[in-house]
Structures are given as structure tokens and as C-alpha cells.
Structure 1
């Protein structure tokens, strides 16, 4: 039975999926990396949260740029019915694995709750028995709003909220294409703590501890977690909100992991990335409007990046290159392009002029943002030729 492919939206959430469009999108990202050439990097990589966005881009870059064998841990199901074709990440994992194995690389997909002890045990067993025994790079790139603590069994939910006082600002409804004023209420102490529990650095350290105690980390191992600090324009709802508290927690745990890795001469680094289009960026209050302004300014300056472009620069030029930039806290700062004072001044001036009449026109980066947003689920993909596919064909794919 041929499935019907539709780009369905609910507010700022894209719920439809185009599997073969995702295959083309993965191929496009691989081609981008290959076009930049190869570089000397790690050879045995674990990506925790490798099915989409920065995690997927990291896996693609390290495999096709540095020739690395990779393991990805992610949670997301495949097709259930002709009307429920599953999650984009499930297909991304499969199409990445197919492309990597075609070039002789190991590409293991572990489909499990990355917060669980079972996932950690499964990965360690694979490293010991089928991956050469050690990993030399670990990427932590989980994006989840829910976490069950494996030690207590208690489940926590994050909350994207302000802290202290409400925040009022402009937002857009992507589905209805409407521009409106939103009020973001302040979080309770419990909501702040829960957000840190879900999105902070605790699980990153649990992973690194489990890997270290199992003796599957190489000497000199490196690990990174992706963070975002943003600028004055968005600090009231991001860096000074619950999300910022979670990011600060990652800084704290980076220091602890560095102490843990000292005997191995390892390094844990918080990488402060730039604003890009992800499923999260579309639902964070006010953030889409910030992107509409920022992307326009950065695109005009020739500096706008998609996740694969940004990650390629991080690995090729900074982590394994000679152009690393750090701040006083020891965080790597590839977000310097976004935070350039001239870029921020122009973005602020543009955002102040955005309204209902112009937010979805060429006055902003609406077309860029929506193109990248649709790409996340396999729609509006460059080079994609419509390909009929049956439910049976999709259900037969192996993760």
C-alpha cells in the first residue's frame, strides 16, 4: 500500500514525515562534508542523541570527514501504520547507517532510552565485543523534555519558562502564519529543578562514568556537550530562564568530568553553539522571531549556517584544527559569528520592525527558516525527487 506523504503541522510542531526526503537530506549533509575534504580526527565515536540536529550532524561529519566508526544512541520508533510513519530520527539512523556501511564504516544504531542504565550497558557491551574495545570521542547531544532517573525511577519533565518575572515578546504560529504577542510565565522552584534534572549535565557524567569504569575510553579521550548562551536579545527567556539554568549545570558537570578523566589525560568541553533551526528552536517562546531576524542578517553577511555547516566548522576548524576560540570559563565559542556586535545590532534593529505584515516575507528570513524547518522531517529537501513508497517497504527497514 503506497503511503500518503503530507507535511502536517500543529502550531510550531511538524508531525508529518517524508522518509525518502529524509534519505535525500542525509545524503545532502554527507555530500556537504565530503566537499570540504577529509581531516585528521577521531576513529571510534559514540554519539548520545545522534538521530537528528547537532547529534546527527556530528555523526555525519566525523564519519565522512574523519573516517570514524560510530555508535548512536537514540529513542524514536519506526512506522506503525500507513498513517503513522514514525519519527524522523528513526529514518535518519537507518539512512546514515546504509551510507556509512557502503563506505566500509561501522555504524551501530542503539535504539533505546539514552537515560537508562540498560542503554549504557548495551553500548558498553558493543564497544567491548564489536567496536575494538575503546572509544576516543563521545558526543553528548540529547534533546529531550522528559527523563526518568535510573537510580530512583522518578520521571522529570522540563519546563521552558522565565525565572523571576514574566517575559513578554513577539512570537509566530508557523502553521497559521500569524504574528502575536506572547507572555512567558515564570517557573516555580520545582520546575527549575526539574528542567536542570532533564537537560543539565548529570546524565552526561553518568555516561562518562559508566564508560570509564568499564575501561572502554581511550587515553586522551575527548567528550563534548552542546550548549547555547545566546545574546542580550534573547537572554530574558533563554540564558536567564530555565534553559539557562540547565546549560549552567552542564558547565558544572564539565569540570567534574575533567577531574574524572584526568588519569586518562582526557578532556570534557562545553561547546557553545550558534542558533540553528531544530525542532526545539521552533517551540521555544520568542525564538522563531529571533531566528527570522538573525538569519536574515547573517545570510546577508554570508555567515548563516545550518547544523551540518556549523558542526563541520566546529570539528574541522576548532576541535581538530587551529582556530579554536575559548572564553574565560573554558567553553569553546563557535557562536562568535552570531554574537558579533555588528550582527547583533543589525538583528535588533530588524526585529524591532517585524510585524504581522512582514514577518513571512523577504523582509525577514522566513523562507530560510521554513525551508530548514521542513527539512527536519524530509520536506522541501534540495534534490529530492518525489518517490512513491509503500508501508511494507518502510516497515521492512532495519534500524
Structure 2
């Protein structure tokens, strides 16, 4: 037990600690937003890789609440130390597991490096012992580095443009006050681009398919999805036309390779999600300003990660059309990429300055959203009273549970 008085440790809008009660409350709010499953029969067996944050977390919570999902979630989260709380994803996973248990869901969580062959072996063995075969693999990892299990080489991803340097407006917070800054990033070299593809492309996704298929764990009609993003031409130089975009293109190429390997017994899709405030997206320069403008423009048309995860689950379970584009990708970003929306965002982007930042963008909303990623700024949470920071990782059930 470790009762601590916790204060937010942040620089600008990025945080280095988390609040366990706030993180749990975030998951509770997501859970209550989702309609409960009406059917009594067990849902599909799923493996969610990257289940503690962003779209992976949203897909996990929706799957458990609305579809009685069974299976396994994998995330790599830091435990509590003497100096710091556990990672926000640790606390979110603990609460997700608690809600799943209350709902009677046969779903467990593994805290491990999903890039590792050892973890692939352990996870597939657990799935085989408990369920036999799986119906769905959701792949949603955003990581700064990856060790190639075949070579032992450690690859580090970078967020840089390709071909030319990138200069743009960016959002900064000085003493909590939102301001406009100027960003200059040098273009990546070939080695940096290739390393980013190794980390954030489709190589590991393909390895997971190989691991599952080699043990005969793919059910008839198996489906797998990997989360991607296209975004606006405003952010294209740093995203879709940059090193991350090269990785996302590799992810999409991998989907086609997986489909060839599955030979009709299953199908792989990349899912183009809409913009969101996640721990991964906040690390991308200029995305904060773009997202703040987009939220102001879309207002009540804004789609949360839960909204989009609900749409994805409905499509994967046949309750809605897949909504494929001409490249075979599932599109969840129509609300963002609507031409009128993009025109309005562009108009604000081009004219906005520090003097009208508060009235032209939703910077305060963005700051609060980032805080909530770490359990801060959550309505109804008592941040004055010391909180219990020692929260155990959910125990793995026995094979016959």
C-alpha cells in the first residue's frame, strides 16, 4: 500500500506522472458511454495488442461492454517506483479489468513487450489453452522503439518530414497559457525513415499473424485490423508525407501481404481513424494546434475514440457496412475529412495568431483532454485527498477459468 498526495508533474501539456483515481474515472466514463450488450451468449475471441491507450483502449472497452468480447489484451506499461506513480496505462488497465470481471467477461491482460517472440509464444499459448481459436486481432501499437527479434537490432522511430525541412505553427503552453510557437524540423535521412518503418510499420503485425497461424489459432472467418491515420493536407508534411506516413504505408502494404497469406480463410484491413487526443498523437508536432482547431470547427460532430471504436466494432461484426475506400481500407474519418470541415480548418489555420488563439481554437479543451490521458482534469475526481498509488496488475486467470 502506498498512499500519496499526488500533484501533476508536467511541462507544457505533457505529463510525467499519473493519477490512479483519475485514470480509473476516465475508464468508467468510457464504459458508461457504451450501450451494454443485450445478448447472453459469449462474444468473439479477440487479441488486442496495445490495449491500454488510445484506440486500442477504446476498442477493448467497447468490445467488452457492447460485444461480450473474450480473449487477451497486451500492453507494455511501467510499474510504480519510489519516485513516480505507475504509468497511466497501468491504472487504466487495472480498472478495465475490474469492469470486465464485474461483467463476467473472460478477458485477461498481459503486461509485456508485444514485439518479443517470447511474448508472442506466451500469449498464443494462453489463447490456445483458454479459447482454442481467435476471431479477431486488433493491432494498435505506437512505440518509440522496437527490438527486431530476428536480428536483435534496436530501431528508434523519429517524427520528421521527408524530402524537405518542415516549418509550421505549433501550439505551446507557457505557464499554462496557450500560445503560438514556430516549429522547424529537419528532413529525415534514409536510415531514420527506415528505422521508423521498422518500429511503426507492419513487420510486427505480420509476425503476430504468423505466430497465430503456425499454432492453428485462426478461426474460420478470422479478421484482423491495424489502426492507421491519413489526416489533413495541413499536417501531411509531418505526418502522411513524413516518416510516420512511410510507416503507415508499410502497414497498408502489410495488410495486402497478410491477405495473400490467409488465402481467403480470413481478412486483414487497415483502419483509417479520425483525429484524436492520445498519448501518441500529442507527441507529433503541430497536431495539437490542428486538433484544437478541428474540435472548434466540428463541435458536437467531433468523434471520440469510443465513438469510432463503436463504429469499428459494428462493422467488424456485420452490423454495418465495412465502409471500404478504393484501397480497401476501413474509413472512420469521414467526419474529419469532410471537405467543408477541412476548408473551415484551413481558413482558421492560415489566419490564426496569438491574439485570437482563444476564440479561434479549443486550446483549453485540448489541454484538459491531454491531462485526462494521465488521470488529471477529470470532473468529479478529488485531487486534494492522498490516493492509493500501488495498484496491482490484473492477475492472469487459470486455463479453465
For this structure pair, what is the TM-score category when the shorter chain's length is used for normalisation? over 0.9
Q: What's the C-alpha RMSD, in Å, of the aligned pairs?
A: 2.1
What SS does the aligned partner of 1:206 have? Answer: helix
Q: Is the 8 A contact 2:71 2:127 kept in 1?
A: no
Q: Is the 8 A contact 2:50 2:74 kept in 1?
A: yes
* Residue in 1 that maps onto 2:399: none
* Residue in 1 that maps onto 2:212: 211
Q: Is the 8 A contact 1:45 1:135 kept in 2?
A: yes
Equivalents in 1 of 2:39, 2:196: separation in Å? Answer: 39
What SS does the aligned partner of 2:356 have? Answer: coil
What SS does the aligned partner of 1:160 have? Answer: coil
- Partner residue of 1:394 out of 385, 390, 395: 390
Q: CA deviation at 1:356?
A: 1.8
* Residue in 2 that maps onto 1:194: 195
User: Kindly tell me: are residues 90 and 210 of structure 1, through their superposed partners in 2, closer, same or farther at Cα, counting changes over 3 Å?
Assistant: same
* Residue in 2 that maps onto 1:162: 161
Q: CA deviation at 1:395?
A: 4.7
Q: How does 1:28-67 map to 2 (within 5 A)?
A: 28-34=29-35, 42-67=43-68
Q: How does 1:246-285 map to 2 (within 5 A)?
A: 246-262=247-263, 265-285=265-285
Q: Do structure 1's residue 289 and structure 2's residue 289 form an aligned pair?
A: yes
Q: CA deviation at 1:41?
A: 9.6
Q: Is the 8 A contact 1:184 1:285 kept in 2?
A: no
Q: Which moved more, 1:282-291 or 1:154-163?
A: 282-291
* Residue in 2 that maps onto 1:367: 364
Q: Is the 8 A contact 2:90 2:393 kept in 1?
A: no
Q: Do structure 1's residue 347 and structure 2's residue 348 form an aligned pair?
A: no
Deviations 1:83-120 (A, max 9, x none): 31110111111111111011111221111111000110
User: Kindly tell me: are residues 337 and 398 of structure 1, through their superposed partners in 2, closer, same or farther at Cα, counting changes over 3 Å?
Assistant: closer
Deviations 1:300-332 (A, max 9, x none): xx2102211221122225763224321111011
Equivalents in 2 of 1:382, 1:34: separation in Å? Answer: 22
TM value normalised by structure 1: 0.93
* Residue in 2 that maps onto 1:75: 76
Number of equivalent positions: 392
Q: CA deviation at 1:385?
A: 4.2
TM value normalised by structure 2: 0.92
Q: Is the 8 A contact 2:135 2:220 kept in 1?
A: yes
Q: How does 1:312-323 map to 2 (within 5 A)?
A: 312-316=310-314, 320-323=318-321
User: Kindly tell me: are residues 40 and 343 of structure 1, through their superposed partners in 2, closer, same or farther at Cα, counting changes over 3 Å?
Assistant: farther
Equivalents in 1 of 2:61, 2:218: separation in Å? Answer: 21
Equivalents in 2 of 1:58, 1:89: separation in Å? Answer: 14
Q: CA deviation at 1:74?
A: 1.0
**Structure 2 residues not aligned, in runs of 5+:** 396-401
* Residue in 2 that maps onto 1:221: 222
* Residue in 1 that maps onto 2:134: 135
Q: CA deviation at 1:374?
A: 1.1
